Amino acid sequence: MTSRGVVRSWNVRGMQGVIDSADTPGGSWTPWISVAVPGFPGLAEGQEVEFEWHQLDEPADGYDFHTVRASPVGTEPYTRQGPFSSRAWHIDPDGSAHEITDLDDTIPPRIGTPASGVVTTWNDDEGWGVIDSADTPGGCSTFYSALHPDEVINAQPGDSFSIGGGIRGLDVGEQVDFEWESVIDQDGYKFRAIKVRPRREIPLWRVERIGR
């Protein structure tokens, strides 16, 4: 089904976002592979889009709807030529993206600086929060995607997953172990979490690789 909607959020590091529309209450989860634009496959918060979607048999990542294809209103959906798995991008701290060419077979996984801290803020609706620790003065911004299993966080270009189970949020006041990296500005913070692992027991993640 095709609808018109507005991009609620887009996580440039996690390469995913959410589109809101009257036809998809609660939002339609949108991975980068669904973005039909030339160049870097990303959308912008507040952008109006035309998108194709389907309703899932059971929620994935906490959403009942999944975006199949999305493009800005007033543009023709872009069809990529050749396998997308041959492309990768370097994302600068300011959010700008540059295509990497002449790739080796694999890209080393992102590795951050390990630390421990306490969750001071968490927004369930938008899937982001702040971790406070001595190593990240002023707070470390984190997104729901940092909770994903390592297999997903360290995915290679062209990988696509169906993800269920696990958790999609943190509890204010809980202790977590995390890996962080420095950024110029992430919503007013100088640090961003790559991986976050709560110390409490959490449900098992269900991860199914659906493409590469």
The residue among 196, 100, 76 whose CA lies nearest residue 148 is 196
Q: Which single residue is written with the structure tokens 């003065």?
A: 137
Q: Which single residue is written with the structure tokens 């943190």?
A: 170
Residue 141 · residue 187 · CB < 8 Å: yes
Q: Which single residue is written with the structure tokens 């035309």?
A: 50
Count, residues in the chain:
212
Residue 89 · residue 99 · CB < 8 Å: yes
Residue 134: other Cβ atoms inside 10 A: 8
pLDDT at residue 86, rounded to an integer: 42
Q: Return d(Cα 159, Cα 16) in angstroms, integer.
A: 13
pLDDT in tens, the chain (212 residues): 899 999 999 887 677 899 999 999 999 999 888 898 887 788 888 999 999 999 888 887 788 999 989 999 999 888 765 444 445 555 555 555 555 555 445 556 777 899 999 999 999 887 899 999 999 999 999 988 899 988 888 776 666 777 888 888 999 999 999 999 988 777 788 899 999 999 999 999 888 876 55
Please state the φ and ψ torsions of residue 131, each to the nearest 5 degrees.
-110, 135
pLDDT at residue 10, rounded to an integer: 87
pLDDT digits (tens, 9 = 90+) for 113-123: 999 999 999 99
Q: Return d(Cα 210, Cα 162) in angstroms, integer.
A: 7
The residue among 55, 52, 49, 38 whose CA lies nearest residue 10 is 49
Q: Return d(Cα 26, Cα 127) in angstroms, integer.
A: 13
Q: Return d(Cα 113, Cα 141) in angstroms, integer.
A: 14
Radius of gyration of the chain (CA): 17
H helices, E strands: number in the chain: 1, 14
Domains and CATH numbers, the chain: 2-72 (2.40.50.140), 113-211 (2.40.50.140)
Question: Which tokens hold the place of 99?
Answer: 């295509």
Question: Which tokens hold the place of 185?
Answer: 């500005």
Pairing, β 2-11 against β 113-123: unpaired
pTM: 0.53
